[in-house]
């Protein structure tokens, strides 16, 4: 058995213990290393910590996408006590050109940018051009639906908080404080 970086190498791919005596989970890759020995990985964190990490990833992605759906209801951000439509820090809008086509316009600190196809004007799931802050593919739920976007947002915000509490509970357990953060040779 030898130690390379964060992985623990064993000949048979069975469960082993780290230097502090804590059991580690080893998964054999089935492929040999350059010197002909079997390669297996040892997880540095316990299963609940890894699961809460991936639940956080899922929550943050859905919070971002549902937040974009909420932003679509009024696609402008303001600074200060008033919401002057002429003085938005960020605004996503659309306008009709002289040729009659829709153009997406994003305004940031008074500077206007053509963002047709991404922000302001994009195609829906049927291929029709529509006025929209962010496109359908980047929001949950896809169609313009503020109430459902808020429900998704609040549900996953609470899931994010509860998951964070679970993470803290598993992180501060005495057994996790005794385990070293790195596997020593």
The domain segmentation of the chain, as residue ranges, is 1-44, 45-75+138-173, 77-133
Q: Looking at 48-52, 116-120, 162-166, 177-181, which range is the least confident one? A: 177-181
CA angle 183, 28, 54 (to 5 degrees): 70
Alpha-carbon radius of gyration of the chain: 25
* Residues sharing a CB contact under 8 Å with residue 163, sequence separation 6 or more, in sequence order: 52, 55, 56, 59
46 close to 72: Cβ distance less than 8 angstroms: no
Residue 125 has pLDDT above 60, yes or no: yes
Q: What is the pLDDT of residues 34-47, one digit of tens each?
A: 666 666 777 787 88
Q: What is the pLDDT of residues 65-109, one digit of tens each?
A: 999 999 999 999 998 887 777 788 999 999 998 888 889 999 999
Q: What ranges in the chain are assigned the alpha helix state H?
A: 47-73, 146-171, 174-178
What is the pTM assigned to this prediction?
Answer: 0.69
Q: What number is the average pLDDT over the span 52-65?
A: 96
């Amino acid at each position: 058995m030898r130690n390379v970086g964060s992985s623990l190498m064993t000949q048979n791919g069975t469960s082993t213990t780290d230097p502090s005596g804590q059991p580690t989970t080893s998964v054999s890759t089935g492929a040999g290393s350059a010197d002909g020995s079997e390669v297996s990985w040892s997880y540095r964190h316990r299963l609940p910590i890894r699961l809460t990490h991936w639940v956080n990833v899922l929550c943050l992605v859905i919070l971002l996408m549902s937040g974009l759906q909420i932003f679509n209801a009024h696609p402008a951000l303001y600074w200060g006590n008033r919401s002057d439509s002429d003085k938005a820090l960020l605004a996503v809008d659309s306008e009709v050109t002289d040729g009659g086509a829709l153009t997406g316009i994003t305004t940031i600190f008074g500077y206007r940018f053509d963002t047709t196809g991404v922000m302001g004007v994009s195609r829906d799931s049927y291929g029709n051009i529509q006025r929209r802050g962010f496109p359908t593919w980047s929001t949950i739920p896809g169609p313009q639906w503020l109430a459902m976007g808020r429900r998704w947002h609040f549900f996953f915000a609470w899931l994010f908080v509860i998951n964070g509490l679970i993470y803290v509970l598993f992180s501060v357990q005495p057994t996790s404080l005794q385990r070293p953060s790195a596997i020593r040779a």
